[in-house]
Copies of this chain bind each other. A is one copy, B any other.
Amino acid sequence: MPSPPLLPPKPLTPHDLRLACRNGTYSTTTSLTIPTVQCNLLVLPSRYAPSFTQLCARNPVSCPLLHSTLPGSKTTPLAPGANLATDLPKYNVYKDGKLLAEGDGIASVEKYWTEDHVGFLIGCSFSFEWRLAAAGFPPKHTLCVPVRCVPMFRTGVPLSPAGEFTGGCLVVSMRAYKEEDVAEVRRITRAFRRQHGEPVAWGWDGARMLGIEGKVREGLVDFGEWVGIDGEVGEVPVFWGCGVTPQVAVMESGIEGVVISHVPGCMFVTDVPVEDEEVSGLKL
């Protein structure tokens, strides 16, 4: 199976990409080869904004907060001109913690985003996949044809609660690498401090520490799609904090009202170059 080219034939701009997400041409932002930062989105009633901001501050590895909007605003300086209510491929809408039947994977949330809603943009590990690929470590899910979404797992590691947000555990994304490459992969992603940074655990000992060894060995993902780990060539799982974490925390905390999130793997593409998020000169 030949690898797809690392750069598309005609590079799209982030603006083009957002339009393609808006009109349904792109149904996921996984494995994009555009080197700008991608974000998780969570939209909450304004009364929960202080506690949610604090939840992010207390759990910065899984919930690195990049921007929060004013109540009612659907814009962000991370992508001037973009509309957060339409420019992600797919959204979920919840009411009182339950997914609305009419809000399951929908293309626009204009009708749910009220004057009282605050949008939170949270860093995403998709932002450093381009850099991993450029360094010779393309994540395996980006090489699948058709592309797959990164595998994600709910761990047994509790979050530090904040105010109303007392539920939830760390969610991680998983990429398989050869054991001998883990140090370099750690070094590369360490520089992306607001995009989950270096891994939270690696190897089978790491999977055990996170309480997910069984699920990972059996390929039972909680979100995204499974991609194998080839032990015969020395691959081991490597785990990063994941922006689905705050989504799960919010759903499990039983808060009231309408909450909007992206569908895992269907992120917001910003105009911020990946290089701007990279802290140079970091050694392991």
> Interface on A for B, CB 8 Å cutoff?
50, 54, 57-58, 60-61, 157-158, 160-164, 190, 193, 197-201, 209-210, 241, 282-284
User: For A190, what are the chain B residues with a Cβ–Cβ distance below 8 Å?
Assistant: 54, 162-163
User: For A58, what are the chain B residues with a Cβ–Cβ distance below 8 Å?
Assistant: 60-61, 197
User: Which of B57, B161, B284 is within 8 Å of A200, CB to CB?
Assistant: B161
CB distance from A168 to the nearest CB of B (A): 11
User: For A193, what are the chain B residues with a Cβ–Cβ distance below 8 Å?
Assistant: 54, 57
**CB within 8 Å for A198 and B161 given contacts A57-B60, A57-B193, A60-B60:** yes
Task: Please tell me if the beta carbons of A200 and B160 are within 8 angstroms of each other in the complex.
Answer: yes
User: For A57, what are the chain B residues with a Cβ–Cβ distance below 8 Å?
Assistant: 60, 193
Task: Please tell me if the beta carbons of B60 and A201 are within 8 angstroms of each other in the complex.
Answer: no
User: Could you list 14 A-B pairs, sorted by A, with CB under 8 Å?
Assistant: A50-B283, A54-B190, A54-B193, A58-B60, A58-B61, A60-B60, A157-B157, A157-B158, A158-B200, A160-B200, A161-B198, A161-B199, A162-B198, A163-B283
User: For A61, what are the chain B residues with a Cβ–Cβ distance below 8 Å?
Assistant: 58, 160
12 A-B pairs besides A58-B197, A157-B157, A163-B284 with CB distance below 8 A are A50-B282, A50-B283, A60-B60, A61-B160, A157-B158, A158-B209, A161-B198, A161-B199, A161-B201, A162-B198, A163-B190, A164-B284
User: For A157, what are the chain B residues with a Cβ–Cβ distance below 8 Å?
Assistant: 157-158
User: For A197, what are the chain B residues with a Cβ–Cβ distance below 8 Å?
Assistant: 54, 58
Among A160, A161, A198, A241, which residue has the most Cβ atoms of chain B within 10 A? A160
Task: Please tell me if the beta carbons of B201 and A158 are within 8 angstroms of each other in the complex.
Answer: yes
User: For A60, what are the chain B residues with a Cβ–Cβ distance below 8 Å?
Assistant: 57-58, 60
Q: How far is the CA of A158 from the CA of B209 in the complex (A)?
A: 7
CB distance from A172 to the nearest CB of B (A): 11
CB distance from A61 to the nearest CB of B (A): 4
User: For A283, what are the chain B residues with a Cβ–Cβ distance below 8 Å?
Assistant: 50, 163
Q: How far is the CA of A257 from the CA of B179 in the complex (A)?
A: 28
Complex A-B, nearest 9 residue pairs according to Cβ-Cβ distance, in ascending order: A61-B160, A158-B209, A58-B61, A160-B200, A163-B284, A157-B157, A157-B158, A60-B60, A58-B60
User: For A50, what are the chain B residues with a Cβ–Cβ distance below 8 Å?
Assistant: 282-283
**CB within 8 Å for A210 and B284 given contacts A57-B60, A58-B60, A163-B190:** no
Task: Please tell me if the beta carbons of A158 and B210 are within 8 angstroms of each other in the complex.
Answer: yes
User: For A198, what are the chain B residues with a Cβ–Cβ distance below 8 Å?
Assistant: 161-163
User: For A209, what are the chain B residues with a Cβ–Cβ distance below 8 Å?
Assistant: 158
User: For A164, what are the chain B residues with a Cβ–Cβ distance below 8 Å?
Assistant: 284
